[in-house]
């Protein structure tokens, strides 16, 4: 047994998942990955989370794996990120990894000889079916290439245990990330509370829709889209992942049917629960639920007031369509137009649901400042510092500029032209966030008022 395998074999305690909630019970030096359980999805229909038409699966699995074989001895174990019945995910250092990557790989820090990676390993006692599914997943993942889909870098399949090496996402899974944060406000800034802005949430929604748009273009059906299966890197780039059915820390998200199939019923479309039909349209339904999670900051489970049995009964109400079905409520942080988009995702008729292309096109303008004019002159990424910040308030796109460390300026971008109107200039320490300035903007923004353009000090801002 190699030193790496010996290191992975023990020396750390398992979390007691029976005594805690998903948001409370995992303390680790590395951000959490939704725990992996490489099991075949049985019962209703299908097999893997990435479900594709049979012809596509056959054509993919007949091909050789396009990822390179990586020397197992060059993986240095650091810690465990997740575990399940038949598999584990480890944080490792991969020595000399750049030499094994395909040409044009966008892996960051490629010039470094040692790179942090996530290694998904099949346990030695895994069933033959789990082994076959693991190899099939490797073959499929090796051909997925999109900025918002987790990338397979290389594999270790010449000997047991089978391993796949993927890029490591420093901020872990989106569910844990958001549940540990509050919406950006004066309070969060004053008390150094981890926070996210509304602009951050909108950008997350766009990224998830972009990744799902790519999968849909290949006729892939994910079947388990949720925040627990979205990972974030240090730049808050989201990548959709599939580490099999999430268990343990997220076990309450899954419902066991007749002692066999374990299904994420709170994210599933009515036709998936009742008829066993999984399509891109059912992924769209799950996307709507995922958006709902994002804009509630993952503080509660979907349909938290309903039992699992009541969720299944509710799917029957969607089928009967007599007006008694229960929808998820509109999150307070969610713009009305975005909640309308969620409701379309939950349409009874699959033909009435938007496509992922349509979702992407609808969401992207809400966080893309270019719709408000030419902003190329405002961006400066060469210094590696945040010099500008954008957010949409009351239908207006605003820009906060940092001309120097001690100063901050807030601009409103006029919808019908490229002009920038300075709204106020104040010291950076007085700028607590856009949401706290909402009242001030309504009073002084030239886009909302015919009053003269004005510049104010921080002391004059009343919110």
Q: What residues are labeled active site?
A: 224
Buried b (16+ CB within 10 A) or exposed e, 255-264: bebeeebbbb
Question: In sequence order, what are the residues at sequence separation of 6 or more whose Cβ sits closer than 8 angstroms to the Cβ of residue 413?
Answer: 369, 372, 373, 375, 396, 397, 398, 399, 420
Closest to 257 in 3D by CA, of 431, 92, 44:
44
Take residue 221 and report the two structure tokens written for it: 């059906």
Take residue 318 and report the two structure tokens written for it: 């969607």
Take residue 417 and report the two structure tokens written for it: 């032209």
Q: Helix, strand or coil for residue 221? A: strand
Question: In sequence order, what are the residues at sequence separation of 6 or more whose Cβ sits closer than 8 angstroms to the Cβ of residue 115?
Answer: 93, 94, 97, 98, 107, 109
Question: In sequence order, what are the residues at sequence separation of 6 or more whose Cβ sits closer than 8 angstroms to the Cβ of residue 103?
Answer: none
What is the four-CA torsion angle of 405, 409, 414, 415, rounded to 10 degrees?
50
Q: Report residue 320: phi and psi, to 5°.
A: -70, -30
**Spatial distance between the Cα atoms of 214 and 220, rounded to a whole number of angstroms:** 9
């Amino acid at each position: 047994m190699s030193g790496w395998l010996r290191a992975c074999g023990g020396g750390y305690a398992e979390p007691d998942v029976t005594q805690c909630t998903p948001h409370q019970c995992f303390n680790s030096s590395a951000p959490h990955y939704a725990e992996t359980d490489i099991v075949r999805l049985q019962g209703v229909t299908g097999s893997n989370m990435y479900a594709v038409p049979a012809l596509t699966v056959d054509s993919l699995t007949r091909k050789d794996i396009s990822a390179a074989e990586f020397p197992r001895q060059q993986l240095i174990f650091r810690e465990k990120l997740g575990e399940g019945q038949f598999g584990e995910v480890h944080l490792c250092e991969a020595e000399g990894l750049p030499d094994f990557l395909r040409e044009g790989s966008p892996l960051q820090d490629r010039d470094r000889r040692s790179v942090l990676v996530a290694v998904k390993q099949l346990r030695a006692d895994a069933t033959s079916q789990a082994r076959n599914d693991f190899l099939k997943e490797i073959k499929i993942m090796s051909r997925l290439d999109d900025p918002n889909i987790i990338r397979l870098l290389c594999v270790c399949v010449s000997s047991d245990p089978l391993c796949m090496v993927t890029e490591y996402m420093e901020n872990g899974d989106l569910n844990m990330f958001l549940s540990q944060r509050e919406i950006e406000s004066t309070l969060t800034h004053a008390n150094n509370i981890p926070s996210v802005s509304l602009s951050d949430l909108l950008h997350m929604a766009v990224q998830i829709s972009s990744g799902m748009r790519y999968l849909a273009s290949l006729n892939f059906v994910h079947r388990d889209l949720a925040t627990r299966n979205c990972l974030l890197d240090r730049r808050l780039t989201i990548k959709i992942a599939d580490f099999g059915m999430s268990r343990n820390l997220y076990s309450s998200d899954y419902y066991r049917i007749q002692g066999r199939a374990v299904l994420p019923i709170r994210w599933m479309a009515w036709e998936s629960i009742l008829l066993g039909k999984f399509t891109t349209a059912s992924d769209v339904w799950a996307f709507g639920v995922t958006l709902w999670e994002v804009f509630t900051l993952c503080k509660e489970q979907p349909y938290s007031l309903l039992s699992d049995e009541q969720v299944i009964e509710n799917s029957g109400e969607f089928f009967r369509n007599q007006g008694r079905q229960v929808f998820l409520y509109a999150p307070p942080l969610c713009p009305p137009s975005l909640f309308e988009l969620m409701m379309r995702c939950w349409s009874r008729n699959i033909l009435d649901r938007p496509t992922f292309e349509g979702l992407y096109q609808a969401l992207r303008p809400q966080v893309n400042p270019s719709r408000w004019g030419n902003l190329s002159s405002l961006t400066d990424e060469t210094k590696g510092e945040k010099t500008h910040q954008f957010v949409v308030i009351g239908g207006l796109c605003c820009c906060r500029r940092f001309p120097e460390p001690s100063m901050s300026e807030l601009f409103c971008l006029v919808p019908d032209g490229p002009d920038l109107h300075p709204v106020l200039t104040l010291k950076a320490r007085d700028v607590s966030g856009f949401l706290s300035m909402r009242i001030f903007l309504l009073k002084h923004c030239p886009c909302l008022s015919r009053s003269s353009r004005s510049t104010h000090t921080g002391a004059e801002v009343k919110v």
